[in-house]
Amino acid sequence: MADGFVRALGMMSGTSLDGVDAAMLTTDGQRIGAFGRSAYRAYSGNESGLLHAALGQWPGGPDVAEAAGLSVAAHADLAAGFPEAEVIGYHGQTLAHDPRGRGTHQAGDGAALARQTDRPVVWDFRSEDVRQGGEGAPLAPFFHWACAEWAVGQGHLAPAPVAFLNLGGVGNVTWVDPSASAPEAQGACLAFDTGPANAPLNDLMRQRRGQAQDRDGAVAAQGVVDEAVIARFLTHPHFARPVPKSLDRDAFPDLLAEVRELADADAAATLTHAAAAAVAAGLPHLPAPPQRLLVCGGGRLNPVLMQALRQRTGLDVLPVEEIGLDGDMLEAQAFGWLAVRVLKGLPTSGPGTTGAPGPVCGGRISRPTHS
């Protein structure tokens, strides 16, 4: 394409373990040229079960090879529908995350995906940041800057700081100044993981009802929140830690144990409100109180969670569709955009987003012919 713009396919399967999102965009690694088509491939019950079994495992773990093979096959499947993609950004499946200990582990071999798709693949986005002393997560924040810059250009957003909240398995928030010249510029982005979002609620629904999620918050809507559980949850050391900071999917095992004695609806209501309370607890870490939270990720489709956020933060809480973005595909788009940044040697994280000592260009490039 002209002017250094690249057609990129970003692919993401997050901590919810429900499936793979894929989305096209064109970018020069800085600005978003245009958003493109997207697709979703759900994991089958067997596939999701296998990924769950592999959670917490490090390379060499008993279920890792199978999980990694499954991830590559599912992504290759989905990528086949995007012959126009000039590069693929492949996040891989996070199985474990312990940046100050054993590192971070995204299962899935990008070189194998490059061979299977016959396209260059950028992957292993997090290891270099961790190696340089960063948290390795969150990585979407630099893309949040690009989204805000795009939305300002489209007239959907005023050129003033704005906060994005992603509610996947884990939650993360980004404070963005779209008037900054680049995402790595001083003060352009401040980001961190807020706490568990949908993962504990999904786990509860699996255990108690054999369902993947509390669809539309229907179970939680019938329940009463146990505020004592929320108060104990908020004493977890994560909330007092300085930002940036990141979390493993299963960093709060006590939370699920705490609701064991509660009826299904009360347990679901309490876990839904815990996710919202975690966000509220994070807000004082932002440079200034945001006027509104622009929410992406599956949690924005849960009206009970959105209402809990309004109640506990006192803010306007709106889906990112409000400013013309696609809240289901934003993370997939992020990894397409980040892939182009890696191709161009631009930073993918920095002190404000992962706490790395300086700008980091993470990600490995595998080309089909060279691997």
Ligand X SMILES: Nc1ncnc2c1ncn2[C@@H]1O[C@H](COP(=O)(O)OP(=O)(O)OP(=O)(O)O)[C@@H](O)[C@H]1O
Task: Report the interface residues with ligand AH0, using CB under 6 A.
Answer: 14-15, 94, 97, 104, 137-140, 166, 168-170, 172, 193, 246-247, 331
Toward ligand AH0, which CB reaches closer, 27 or 94? Answer: 94
Q: How far is CA 290 from CA 146, 181, 203, 357, 366, in A?
A: 18, 21, 31, 26, 40
What value, to the nearest 5°, has the Cα angle with vertex 64 and ends 24 and 102? Answer: 95
Minimum separation from the CB atom of position 353 to ligand X (A): 15
Minimum separation from the CB atom of position 215 to ligand X (A): 5
Determine if 209 is a binding residue for ligand X (CB under 6 A). Answer: no
Pick out the residues of the known binding site: 14-21
Minimum separation from the CB atom of position 13 to ligand AH0 (A): 10
Determine if 216 is a binding residue for ligand X (CB under 6 A). Answer: yes
Toward ligand X, which CB reaches closer, 12 or 343? Answer: 12
- Give the CA dihedral 329, 331, 334, 335, nearest 10 degrees: -110
Determine if 39 is a binding residue for ligand X (CB under 6 A). Answer: no
Determine if 264 is a binding residue for ligand X (CB under 6 A). Answer: no
- Best CA proximity match to 255, nearest among 177, 199, 299: 199
Angle 141-153/330-343 helices, nearest 10 degrees? 100
Give dist(CA 316, CA 291) in Å, integer. 7
Pick out the residues of the known binding site for ATP: 14-21
Element holding 250 (H helix, E strand): none
Burial class (CB in 10 A: 0-12, 13-18, 19+), 73: middle
Of 27, 117, 213, 353, the one binding ligand X (CB under 6 A) is 213
Q: Which does 282 bind (CB under 5 to 8 A by kind): ligand AH0, ligand X, none?
A: none
Q: Which does 138 bind (CB under 5 to 8 A by kind): ligand X, ligand AH0, none?
A: ligand AH0
Asked if 88 and 365 touch (Cβ cutoff 8 Å), the reply is no
Touching ligand X, residues 189-208 (CB under 6 A): 198, 202
- By CB under 6 A, how many residues form the interface with ligand X? 21
Give dist(CA 51, CA 77) in Å, integer. 17
Give the binding site for ligand X (CB under 6 A). 14-16, 18, 166, 168-170, 198, 202, 213-217, 297-299, 301-302, 331
